[in-house]
Amino acid sequence: MKFATWNVNSVRIREPHVGRYLQRAAPDVLLLQEIKCEAHQFPAASFKALGYESVIAGQKSYNGVAILSRLPVQVHHIALPGLPEADAQARYLEIGVAGITIGNLYLPNGNSGGDAGYAYKLAWMDLLAGRAAALLDADAPFVLAGDYNVAPADIDYAPGTLPANDALIRPETRARFRKMLWLGLTDAVRITQPEGPAYTFWDYQAGAWARDRGLRIDHALLSPALADRLVSAAPDRSLRAEEQPSDHVPVLVELE
């Protein structure tokens, strides 16, 4: 089984890119973040023509997540369990497919909104850890994948790309990411590539792509049962060189 996670930074702009990727990489499941549209605006028909059904948690102009699957899907949650009902930010979608629970997430950045914005990021991460713990208690094989907006270690961002107080690398942020690992989850990319950068994001500004000044902020965290089945996991850098690319690239994970 193959699945991929990709922050497409507007699916309506990147629809051709997604279509080409589905045809080339042929993942069984593709998790999309930051689709930036409501469900009725999502180009589901285009992807259905390629053999993929769509599950969408949309939001006007901002955020939004979707899952494309060529396997039968059961929808479990369209918001992160534990969030207040009044929270309208579309950032989480959870499905069951082929006996696996897949959570697709777009974690808050935390750099906007001052102290309240950063507190929201940390609270969201605490709820995500709670969801991981619940799935572990249920002995369910699962993955929580998407744009975490966390660079877990210094190797995960090019020197000078982030200030020390950036929300993506603050100690409180990294501590919460480590908590996910300490629960027993496996960072799929880092376990297969323990040394060296494996960037998934390059800013549009300051020639970041040309200078390879990237960040690794898109992750797939696997439960123990799935970690035992891991074959490979890596970002696909080639998509960042396309015309009008997203600033993120897909991370493709293959399981036995």
CATH code of the domain in which 115 resides: 3.60.10.10
What is the per-residue pLDDT across 108-144, written as a single tens digit (0 to 9) for each? 999 999 999 999 999 999 999 999 999 999 998 999 9
User: Residue 103 in 3-state DSSP?
Assistant: strand
**Spatial separation of the C-alpha atoms in residues 5 and 66, rounded to whole Å:** 10
If one counts every other C-beta atom within 10 angstroms of the C-beta of residue 230, the result is: 17
Which residues of the chain register pLDDT less than 50? none
Q: How many domains does the chain have?
A: 1
Domain that holds residue 47: 2-255
User: Considering the entire predicted model, what is its pTM?
Assistant: 0.98
What is the model's pLDDT at position 244? Answer: 97
> What single DSSP character describes residue 112?
S
Beta carbons within 8 Å of 45's beta carbon, 6+ residues apart? none
**How do 92-97 and 74-77 pair as beta strands?**
antiparallel
Q: Rounded to whole angstroms, what are the CA distances from 189 to 35, 142, 176?
A: 23, 16, 18
What is the model's pLDDT at position 159? Answer: 95
What is the model's pLDDT at position 108? Answer: 98
What is the model's pLDDT at position 218? Answer: 99
What is the model's pLDDT at position 153? Answer: 98
**Spatial separation of the C-alpha atoms in residues 73 and 97, rounded to whole Å:** 5
